[in-house]
Amino acid sequence: MQINKKKLIQNIPIIFFFGYLTVTVILFAFGPWQWPINSPLKLYGFLAIAHLSLVLGYISLKGNSVPTYPKRRKPKWGPENIVAVSSLLNIVFFVLLFFSNVEERIAITEAALDPARAYAQLAVSELERTGTTMLTYIRFIFAPVLLLSIPLGIMFWEKLGKKTRVAVLLTITTNLLLWTTTGKNKGFADFILIIPWFLFARVVAGKWKPKRTLAILTCALFIGFSILFLFYFSINYEGRMGTYGGSSSSLGIHADYDNIFVRHFPDRLQYGMAGLAGYITNGYFGLSLSLDRPFFFSYGIGHSIFLHNIVFPRLFNITAPMERSYPYQVEESTGWLRLGHWHSIYPWLASDVTFYGTFIVIFLIGRLLAMSWSDTISGSSLLAPVVLYQLLMMLYYFPANNQALAFGDGVMSFWTLIPLWIWRRKRIMRKKVNTEISLAE
Provide the pLDDT for residue 102.
52
pLDDT tens-place string over residues 256-283: 888 888 888 777 677 778 888 888 899 9
Please report, as a single letter, which amino acid is at residue 432.
K
Q: Which residue has the higher pLDDT, 211 or 43?
A: 43
Q: How many residues does the chain have?
A: 441
Q: What pLDDT is stored for residue 120 in this prediction?
A: 46
DSSP, residue by residue, 7-57? HHHHHHHHHHHHHHHHHHHHHHHHSSB----S-HHHHHHHHHHHHHHHHHH
Alpha helix segments (H runs only) across 183-241: 186-204, 212-240
- Region 417-437 average pLDDT: 76
Are the CB atoms for 306 and 409 separated by under 8 Å? no
Q: Which pLDDT band, with edges at 50, 70 and 90, does 145 fall under?
A: very high
Confidence of residue 71 (pLDDT cuts 50, 70, 90): low
Q: Does the pLDDT value for residue 51 go beyond 90?
A: yes
Q: What is the pLDDT of residue 415?
A: 93
Distance in angstroms (rounded) separating the CA atoms of residues 255 and 276: 11
Give the CA dihedral 96, 97, 101, 103, nearest 10 degrees.
-80
Confidence of residue 290 (pLDDT cuts 50, 70, 90): very high
Q: Does 118 score more than 70 pLDDT?
A: no
- Read off the amino acid at residue 313: P
Among 220-229, 289-298, 322-331, 398-407, the range scoring the smallest mean pLDDT is 220-229
Q: Are 56 and 369 in contact (CB under 8 A)?
A: no
pLDDT at 341: 85
Residue 231 has pLDDT above 60, yes or no: yes
pLDDT band at 363 (very low <50, low <70, confident <90, very high): very high
Q: What is the pLDDT of residue 227?
A: 78
- Measured from the Cβ of residue 9, the count of other Cβ atoms closer than 10 Å reads 16
What confidence category does residue 38 fall into, taking pLDDT thresholds of 50, 70 and 90?
confident
- Give the whole-angstrom CA distance, residue 300 versus residue 134: 26
Residue 166 has pLDDT above 90, yes or no: yes
Q: Say how many C-beta atoms besides its own lie within 10 A of residue 357's C-beta.
A: 13
State yes or no: pLDDT of 178 exceeds 50: yes
Check residue 358 and give its pLDDT. Answer: 97
- Residue 109 predicted with pLDDT over 70: no
pLDDT digits (tens, 9 = 90+) for 340-361: 788 999 999 999 999 999 999 9
Per-residue model confidence (pLDDT) at position 347: 95
Give the burial string for 199-218 (b: 16+ CB within 10 Å, else e).
Answer: bebbebbebbeeeeeeeeee
CA neighbor of 147 nearest in space, from 382, 380, 347: 382
- Quick one: average pLDDT of 55-62? 92
Predicted local distance difference test score (pLDDT) of residue 242: 45
pLDDT at 308 over 90: no
pTM of the model: 0.87
Q: What is the DSSP letter of 147?
A: T
pLDDT (average), residues 168-196: 82
* Residue 165 and residue 157 in contact, taking contact as beta carbons nearer than 8 Å: yes
pLDDT given for residue 298 in this prediction:
87
Helical H segments across 315-344, by residue range: 320-324, 326-334
Helices (H) and strands (E) counted in the chain, each on its own, are 17, 0
For residue 92, the model assigns a pLDDT of 92
What mean pLDDT value characterizes the chain? 82
Say if residues 247 and 241 touch (Cβ distance below 8 Å).
yes
pLDDT of amino acid 137: 81
CA distances from 229 to 55, 111, 257, 345, 346 (A): 30, 14, 20, 24, 27
Residue 246 pLDDT: 43
Helices 267-290 & 326-334, crossing angle to 10 degrees? 110
Q: How far apart are CA 439 and CA 432, in angstroms?
A: 11
Q: Would you say residue 284 has pLDDT above 80? A: yes
| Statement: residue 286 has pLDDT above 90 | yes
Residue 418 has pLDDT above 80, yes or no: yes
**pLDDT confidence of residue 323:** 83
pLDDT at 143: 92
**Residues of the chain above pLDDT 70, percent:** 80
Residue 11 has pLDDT above 80, yes or no: yes
- The pLDDT, as a whole number, for residue 351 is 93
Output the pLDDT for position 190: 86
- Cα torsion angle, 194, 204, 73, 158, sign: positive
Residue 74: band (very low, low, confident or very high) from pLDDT cuts 50, 70, 90: low
Reported confidence tier of residue 3, pLDDT bands at 50, 70, 90: low
60-74, 237-251, 333-347: range with lowest mean pLDDT: 237-251
